[in-house]
A and B are shown apart, each in its own frame.
Chain A
Amino acid sequence: MKKTFAALAAATIAATAAPAMADLVVPNMSYRTGAYAANGIPYADGFNDYFTLLNERDGGIGGEKVVVPECETAYNTEKGVECYESTKGMGALVYNPLSTGITYQLIPKVSADGITLYTPGYGRTSAANGKVFEWVFNYPANYWDGASVAVKHLLDVNGGDLNGKKIALVYHNSAYGKEPIRTLTELSKKHGFTLVELPVDHPGQEQKSQWLQIRRDKPDYVLMWGWGVMNQVAIQEAVNIKFPMENFIGIWWSGSENDVGPAGDGANGYKTISFHGTGANFPINDDLKKYVLDAGKGSGAGDQVGTVLYSRGMYAAMTISEAIRKAQEIAGTSAVNAAQVREGFENLNLTEERLTELGLPDFAQPITANCADHGGPGSARIYQWDAGGKTWNAVSDWITSDADVLDPLVAEDSAAFAAEAGITERCN
């Protein structure tokens, strides 16, 4: 009787809890609840829908179905770590936690467990240095790239000269928000502009002091590193003080439809930096409609397709799937493990032709990763909000960050981490 019960219990657990051994497990650490749900939902939907498309249209990747167990983090670091611990035993191949706080906690864990951590456009910037961060990848762009791209754009609109200009940085008073300060400080020395730092405490519902100061000091430009309600309030306050919106640029986490919506027409002209395209007019959208949405297999309510954050979730899933495909190619087997997937990430060669094949022409910049370079091209475009048409329009070509300034900073920061963690540089 005992044996029968044990066998039954084992069979039940095997049938319900774990994916089939050959499946490719890519957990989706999402946040559909809490203060940041409005941003977490479209990202999670884009992430899920891309893998559903691969499963439904192509039978998965290399013939292996992709399983995407979703775990709710509520954008809470402790819950994020719990999600990691509870899903890694399922054979997880890669994690994309969508939180800089969770990323910092997971870096030592994934390094010990041998699982890839992929943080496109967030997380620890110096993880771009593959010599130190073996298991972490953050291509195609990081926060420092974003800061540099913003300054390069401002150089473009000022005839290459920012000397004597004043640029204010309104930032979330957290590790994330403080990321660009070092870069902008270096860039201010190089280009001769004055940097004014204006921190905003979490959550950022009250920013009167910061915007009164902006009204008094009259900076030429305002850059923003915000998240959640801070973005909406900042844009509304900028409208209130009649700050020229075309001189207000947000990082990619401050540039979604959610951020400009509450300010209505006043937000017209606001700019953001983005490392991927947006909208529902890419060829892949036809397949998404046919195989996922119309088939009733869409994630969530299915009403987020084409939004900025949905596109970003899709971008992350696309990059992960291409890295897995590369891993399968290198390993000569479709049932790759976590270590092999890391090899795929490190040897990823995502070309413009491949993006076109995937139905995403001009959606993003090509990536050629290698042992030392886990950060990618560091390119992004500037988009501007058209409140009338409710669309983000590209107003620049792809702008590549200033490697002369950034590379030494990445090397310095990663060297400090290596010394602290006792890591010997590889790729020599």
Chain B
Amino acid sequence: MPDQLLFAMEVTLNGLMAGVMYALVALGFVLIYKASGIFNYAQGVLALFAALTLVGIQQGQVPFAHLINAMTGMHVSHFGWTVPSILAIILTAGVMVGLAIVIEKLVLKHLVNQAPIILFMATIGLAYFLEGFGDVMWGADIKKLDVGLPQGISETVESVTDSLFGYGFFIDNLDIVATVVAVLLVTALTLFSQYSKQGRALRAVADDHQAALSVGISLRFIWILVWSIAGFVALVAGIMWGSKSGVQFSLSLIALKALPVLMLGGFTSIPGAIVGGLIIGVGEKLFEFTIGPMIGGATENWFAYVLALIFLVFRPQGLFGEKIIERV
């Protein structure tokens, strides 16, 4: 098989894996948009906050240590214990639920029946607040995140492809884990929304707030629920991306990677987030591999948006988005 074809196959596989990582971020946006019509600008910061909290709990870091030290003259930084990864993840998920309750009580509750742009603006404020809050709470240093996920080249994939094609493909073990996690997450979310009482209530709210309220569904509970789930999805995204780069404040910028995925897949579809992620991942990697060298490289950021825009020309609601028809 020609070398270029083998390389293209390797790039495609890696593009699929990268797409899954993008989709993990996009999922959080979709969940909140589906249930409340809010484009949650703070989703990237939620992933950052979740990852910071996870590392902080895991390493026994004293929250607000810098503030405490500055105000009291003490020198505290750590409690002196470490928490097992699983327990730390559970505790962090608890913190994200708590955060969802606080957001609902302090922000969303007061904005019921406001225009979507007002809610969007509120999430911008929330993003800035959470970023600063996370900084004060856990510090701005770059933290190594180790929850036991494997990283580095998959020897199995390398040896299998080597025996098949005479060239061992590179696939990152972390990407394989991310793919499995994404499949489990999407399956769980789909089952939850299709078969559980709360899931059906969530879909009812997504379809029509007023109608859902009239049959006794608590809008406030649904908002807490959906922000909690989005917080958990943010935690998963934070773990995956944080394992690659360490937990640091640029983690919030992963949201930029989710936007073209949402445009392509649709803002209201969970499978759309996955398919959109895969298309963007493969598209940008193949473009960089084939055309990139001719035009100076570094094409991935902008090409993802170009690809999404091309799809929008033919399907303005995205591949899986709901077609909105407003009759005048």
Interface status of A56 (Cβ within 8 A of chain B): no
Pick from A41, A197, A209: contact of B285, CB under 8 Å = A209
Kindly specify which of A131-139, A257-265, A352-360, A371-379 makes contact with the partner chain: A257-265
User: Measured between alpha carbons, how far is A160 from B240 in the docked complex, in Å?
Assistant: 43
Pair B7/A216 contact, Cβ less than 8 Å: yes
Pick from A33, A209, A240: contact of B172, CB under 8 Å = A240
Instruction: Write out, one digit per residue, whether chain B residues 245-261 have a CB within 8 A of any chain A CB (1) or not (0).
Output: 11011111110010000
Pair A240/B18 contact, Cβ less than 8 Å: no
Pair B140/A38 contact, Cβ less than 8 Å: yes
Interface status of A232 (Cβ within 8 A of chain B): yes
The count of residues in chain B whose C-beta lies closer than 8 Å to any C-beta of chain A is: 50
User: Measured between alpha carbons, how far is A202 from B140 in the docked complex, in Å?
Assistant: 20
What's the A-B contact tally at a CB cutoff of 8 Å?
A: 119
Pair B142/A240 contact, Cβ less than 8 Å: no
Pair B151/A229 contact, Cβ less than 8 Å: no
Nearest B-chain residue to A296, judged by Cβ: B73
Pair B153/A232 contact, Cβ less than 8 Å: no
Pick from A33, A239, A258, A300: contact of B135, CB under 8 Å = A33
Interface status of B166 (Cβ within 8 A of chain A): no
Kindly specify which of B89-97, B200-208, B294-302, B309-317 makes contact with the partner chain: B294-302
Pick from A201, A205, A208, A242: contact of B241, CB under 8 Å = A205
Q: How far is the CB of B296 from chain A (nearest CB, A)?
A: 7
Pair B248/A208 contact, Cβ less than 8 Å: no
User: Measured between alpha carbons, how far is A68 from B73 in the docked complex, in Å?
Assistant: 23
Nearest B-chain residue to A202, judged by Cβ: B301
User: Measured between alpha carbons, how far is A173 from B7 in the docked complex, in Å?
Assistant: 24
Interface status of B190 (Cβ within 8 A of chain A): no
Interface status of B269 (Cβ within 8 A of chain A): no
Interface status of B123 (Cβ within 8 A of chain A): no
Given A205-B257, A209-B289, A296-B73, answer yes or no on A261-B140 (Cβ-Cβ < 8 Å): no
User: Measured between alpha carbons, how far is A197 from B301 in the docked complex, in Å?
Assistant: 18
Q: Determine the chain B residues whose CB is within 8 A of the CB of A262 once the complex forms.
A: 142-145, 245-246
Interface status of A215 (Cβ within 8 A of chain B): yes
List A203-218 residues whose CB lies under 8 Å from chain B.
Answer: 203, 205-206, 208-209, 212, 215-216
A/B interface sample: 11 pairs, CB < 8 A = A36-B249, A37-B249, A38-B248, A201-B301, A208-B17, A208-B285, A228-B250, A229-B251, A242-B153, A262-B245, A264-B144
